[in-house]
Structure 1
Amino acid sequence: MTQISILGCGWLGLPLAKQLIAKGNRINGSTTTDSKLSILQNTGINAFLVSIEEDQISETIIPFLDKSDVLIIDIPPKLRAENQDSEKKVFVEKIKNLIPFIEKAGVKKVLFVSSTSVYGNENSTITEETNPNPDTESGKQLLLAEAVLQNNPNFETTILRFGGLIGEDRQPVKFLSGKENLANPDAPVNLIHQKDCIGIIEEIITLAKWNEVFNAAAPFHPTREEYYTQKAIDLNLALPKFSSEKSNSRKTISSKKIETLLNYSFKLENY
């Protein structure tokens, strides 16, 4: 039985916690919302109200991390476009603020949930060997936060870079339905289902694949126009209409490393 702390029990963290509990693990889970504590507790999670800022952190971080073998960090930068100048590096400072508590608690394994946005708008097939070149503030902060964790010698960090997140309750076509002149009709999609996110994290922990970087996107890449048109049809939604202008980006995320090193098979039927 492994004790795991999940920092951020939201869209991914909560169902991940449920799955890990079902496999016999003890889970500490955090939320920033008081009303969600009972939701976490009702699923068997040892729940904590934890707030991390660039200049302070809740005292609850100490019992949240206590005796944990693994820490999963699943908190997004959450940058607001209109305030990005004032928020630059705020996320990185939050991660830096967390480091001494990880060290003091003696946590030896950290899994950081990142994003393929660290690669920017490339025009090629992306592997873990590709040099990151983020073109958004969120991507830049994620890359800096990755480095802060990876460079710490007191624990081993695995970076997991997810593509676009989808799930039964999260399908982007619902926001594209009926819209016109949508950009990048021929750009490949790089998506990953919530169930695959959870399955991959489980395998990393089970197989103890630490000090690694993994890209995670399903190994099928129809164009945006093909994929979202078909999804609109499947869900009986108004079809999105795409621009006739070709895209400059052919960024295709390869997950070969996950398929080989973790021997993981993606659940294509869920997409």
Structure 2
Amino acid sequence: MQISILGCGWLGLPLAESLVKTHIVKGSVTTAAKLPVLQEKGILPFQVDLNNPDADAINGFLHGSEVLVIAIPPKVRAEGAISYPDKLKALVPYTIQAGIKKVLFTSSISVYGESTDIPEVDEVTEPNPQTESGKQVRVAERVLQSCNDFSTTIVRLGGLVGGERHPVYHLSGRDNIENPDGPVNLINREECVAILSQIIGRSVWGEVFTAVHPETKTRREYYTAVAKDLGLIAPNFVQGGTTVGKIVKGQEKLQRLLGVTFS
């Protein structure tokens, strides 16, 4: 099978590395300087920048693929840039023209709101985004789901951690951090790659998943423990205050349809 991965960055690149062992993989980056990195890993490299779309580049990137993985992170619109949903709207005609019938979209749990009730949410919960980024992601989901020319599976990922990427590095040693009793909803990059790979391998399309590690801890508990494990100065949280957040479920569906378990 040939697979096109739009966005071979922090998550898309390791996914491409995993899939290229058994599939032909085309990968996209936004700058020419990154193309050799893909080539060295056996990934067919393409430069695709949806802020400055090049029809030939996009057509070449998509041509011959059965699956398109969209792994570009949402960014609040900068001056002169195309909005995140509009980028995907512009991509849809190319996807249809290429004859791609299966799309895998890496979404975010930011489509769910937070409150003092600490609601439990999963894939069937009605989204209620509160941040600008969450609102754009939700519109982007609808752009893809509304297209009948291909079947879209959406994976709403929790906060992404792995390698050198972890919020604790920004929190270490800081004082007066709010919301100490709010729940943590994170997922490791390796778990993300396993989930996305299984969706493709098992051909699970037209579904929505939420993907967060099932262990529920408060921000104080979690970041204090992680800081200790990494030899960092623990963050200092305020005492009391209002607790807001959400607890993301959905692990049962991941296990049932994909066979994915968490360590």
Displacement of 1:169: 1.7
Contact 2:180 2:243 in 1 (8 A): no
Corresponding residue for residue 235 of structure 1 = 230
| AA of the residue aligned to 2:58 | I
1:218 matched to 2:250: no
Displacement of 1:257: 1.5
Displacement of 1:75: 0.8
Contact 2:179 2:219 in 1 (8 A): yes
Displacement of 1:205: 0.8
Corresponding residue for residue 31 of structure 1 = 29
Aligned pair count? 260
Corresponding residue for residue 110 of structure 1 = 103
Mapped partners of 2:83, 2:217: distance in 1: 36
Contact 1:186 1:246 in 2 (8 A): no
Q: How does 1:3-152 map to 2 (within 5 A)?
A: 3-22=2-21, 24-53=22-51, 56-79=53-76, 90-122=83-115, 123-152=118-147
| AA of the residue aligned to 2:38 | L
Contact 1:28 1:48 in 2 (8 A): yes
The SS at the match of 1:161 is: strand
Displacement of 1:258: 1.0
Mapped partners of 2:34, 2:43: distance in 1: 11
The SS at the match of 1:117 is: helix
Mapped partners of 2:14, 2:245: distance in 1: 32
The SS at the match of 1:209 is: coil
Describe the superposition over 1:100-148 as per-residue Cα deviations: whole angstroms up to 9, x where unpaired. Answer: 0000000000000010000021421111111101011111011001011
Mapped partners of 1:261, 1:246: distance in 2: 40
Match of 2:256 among 243, 257, 260: 260
Mapped partners of 2:26, 2:179: distance in 1: 42
Bigger mean CA deviation after superposition, 166-175 or 213-222: 166-175
Contact 1:185 1:224 in 2 (8 A): yes
| AA of the residue aligned to 1:30 | S
Corresponding residue for residue 155 of structure 2 = 160
Contact 1:73 1:112 in 2 (8 A): yes
Match of 1:179 among 167, 174, 178: 174
Displacement of 1:261: 2.0
Bigger mean CA deviation after superposition, 107-116 or 117-126: 117-126
The SS at the match of 2:135 is: helix
Contact 1:65 1:105 in 2 (8 A): yes
Gaps of 5+ in 2: none
Displacement of 1:168: 2.1
Mapped partners of 1:91, 1:210: distance in 2: 23
Displacement of 1:260: 2.0
Displacement of 1:5: 0.1
Displacement of 1:65: 0.2
| AA of the residue aligned to 1:7 | L
The SS at the match of 2:56 is: coil
Displacement of 1:239: 1.1
Mapped partners of 1:35, 1:68: distance in 2: 24
Displacement of 1:79: 1.8
RMSD across aligned positions (CA): 1.6
Mapped partners of 2:162, 2:182: distance in 1: 21
Displacement of 1:248: 3.3
State TM-score, norm by structure 1.
0.92
Displacement of 1:254: 0.4
Describe the superposition over 1:231-270 as per-residue Cα deviations: whole angstroms up to 9, x where unpaired. Answer: 111111111000113443240000222122222111x3xx
Displacement of 1:56: 4.1
Contact 1:72 1:110 in 2 (8 A): yes
The SS at the match of 1:243 is: coil
Describe the superposition over 1:168-217 as per-residue Cα deviations: whole angstroms up to 9, x where unpaired. Answer: 22121111000011011011111000000000001111111100000000
| AA of the residue aligned to 1:114 | S
